[in-house]
Structure 1
Amino acid sequence: MDTTASRPIALGRLYFAAQALAGAAWWVFVFAAPFVRTATLGDLDPALVAMLDVPLFVVASALAVLPGRAGRIAALVATAWTLLVTSALAVYATVTGLAGWGVVAMFAATTCSVLALFLLWLGRVPTNWLLVGPFAFRRARPRRTPIAHVVATTAQIVVFWGLFLVVFPLVIWVLEKRWGLAAPVPAWVTLVGAAVVLAASALGLASAAAITVKGDGTPLPSAMPNRLVIAGPYRWVRNPMALAGIAQGVGVGLILQSWLVVVYALAGSLVWNYAIRPHEEADLEASFGDDYRRYRDEVRCWIPGRRRHTAKAPLARM
């Protein structure tokens, strides 16, 4: 068997084995420690919940380590049950204000279970499934006027910043309070958050302007620039817009004094770095060849700094 191809499957099995052990340990603590039971199950009857959860979560996760179809079916059962429990527990916690920590734990378990299930069934995580609609890579129409690109970029900023930096964080903040997960923090944290948001927004706007003016396109993947951009912030770091977005999200979390919003922003950075960025960089290399490869070698991905040397060839997008 190809060891390289078998590694994702082994990793998926390893996760489900760890999940089975963690689930069993959690149930021990539920019955042995009242504060764990209250924090994760609220007023739900632990014995009644255990009758379903132990076989469908703990045992099914343990059986997922089996080779072949039996293991994959067990992983599917465990993942489906985890999704169901997470959804039901979130509704329960929102209605009653109890079991907030249980929702957080089950949400993490659901995310990891889904990823591990993909590894068992497909041998990979199909990150390309994210590249649909406005996130599918396409070049902007070069015949559009610069004004049209500016208008499109402005609309994108309003929509995406409104959703990812206002609507979603506010929903998370409200749920965090409702679930009893809010933690007191000093008042100055809000001021730090505001400063971070302002600085990150300036970086994001400067990056968007460079793409629109120099790249003959927009920041949106479905209307990507037609030229490789190394102007503005792109001279110092390859992904200034992603860096700005992550910092903005963290700043919003600090303003709201919400640790869950900060986690949301950091989780988004992981999704972008491991799910989106590889596809984007492959697209850039296919489109701009040596120009992009030279740029990639000269400029760091995340940490701003001086370029190793100045490229003289015309460049077209980043």
Structure 2
Amino acid sequence: MNATGYAADPALVRGVAIMAPLLAVAVAARLRGPAERDIAAAILATAWNLLALTGVNLLAGATGWWRFAAEGAVVHGLPVDLLLGWALLWGAVPALATARTARPVPLPATAAVLVWLDLAFMPLAAPVVALGGDWLTGEAVAVAAGLVPGLLLARWTAAGARLRARASMQVVLAAGLGLVLPVALTGVWRQPEWALGLLAQVLAVPLLLGVAAVREFAAAGGGTPLPYDPPERLVTGGPYAYVRNPMQVSMTAGYLVLAPFEPVFLAAAAVAFTYGAGLAAWHEGEQLTGRFGAEWEEYRRRVRPWLPRPRPARMPGPGAAVYVSAVCGQCSQVGAWIRRRSPAGLRVLAAETRSGTRRITYEAADGRTAEGVAALAHALVHIHLGWALVGWALLLPGVTRFAQLCADAFGAGPRAAGAGEALKAGEALKAGEMPGAGRAQREPHGAPETVPEAGPDGVFQTGARGYAAPDVQAGPGRGGSTATSGGPAPHIRR
């Protein structure tokens, strides 16, 4: 029985639980006429709540907060209709209802209304939902894990704010809905420990590719993987210099790795590939052609959609640079190591020629910079796919900071070059005494020998063998590099 003392019809409870939120979504969409960002906000908020509420409801059954008594359309004891209705009520409904408003509705007020509706419905949902004595604790957990983060994600997406935060939350969503939840539902996690350890190591390779692609989308493109919240610029660097569809390759390869443990993942890989190679390729190809024109066509000509290149492709235009000390013994060895591997689209320059440089510094063509371990990680991406994976691993949140801490502890901390060292480096550059420095590297960046030319496989080679002297006529603060101080930012593609 419910709070009124009468037993409600289970079919009516389940029907209202799914139809009422669906009707609210339809009415809000009709009245508000949401823009693309509002649609993205509604999709992401619903997906976030679907993932979070699935976990909370599974936990509720184990803790006794509440349990479900339902038959049909039930997965692991959870009524699918109730779960979807709950996710829509907390996700799409507020995102669409507040779309295109002159003044945003205060988030606490929105949350309070939704919590009040939930507290009113839960006792009325008997006998489908049987509440335990501590059900309010479970409600609080659901609000903290699902409602509040979902509202924040929707608001940030609609406003185009907090790019890093919403991109990170999309990574969590993709991992949760595309990997963790399927693994949990299929029972793959019940394998022996040695098999799970091996599985985790193999899975790390495609997953690393996908995470690096999302990071590149946000950092260089200013957008996220969601089609309604795309990058502002065409992305051609990082993982996209190796393969056009790194996220789809990551998902498909991940499912293929899981397929020997559960055959259903083979079907999932086929679906992911079919969607990516068919509908997504056609739809996104048209969009990108319209937005970026010849630039997209040139990129598509150089980079394959599914089979990664062994070495990164190089788009025409200014490349990146890594500044390494030419007079520090340890540093110059690092620079020589990078140079010997003929990085594509990357120049190795003397750090002494860049004002204020105290660590190895990486500078992208669009002006983004990184120092220390992060700079080395970015430089590795220009060598080949194997070293790129190492670089992307070093760029994972927390890993960079820990690796930098270790490097500093072993003597690789920042170093200030004195006037004598800078003078010595300048004289060595003029005299051609830098390790491996030849005439081509002493030319200004615009000189013919430093202009990359494509080989038969479309890979651009710098032709440089040593440290390059920057053009002394270029602007300050960039080491005089005209190639990294001007021109449009490199554009991105998913």
TM-score when scaled to structure 1? 0.47
Query: What TM-score, normalized to structure 2?
Result: 0.31
Structure number having the greater strand percentage:
2
Structure with higher helix content: 1
| Greater C-alpha radius of gyration | 2
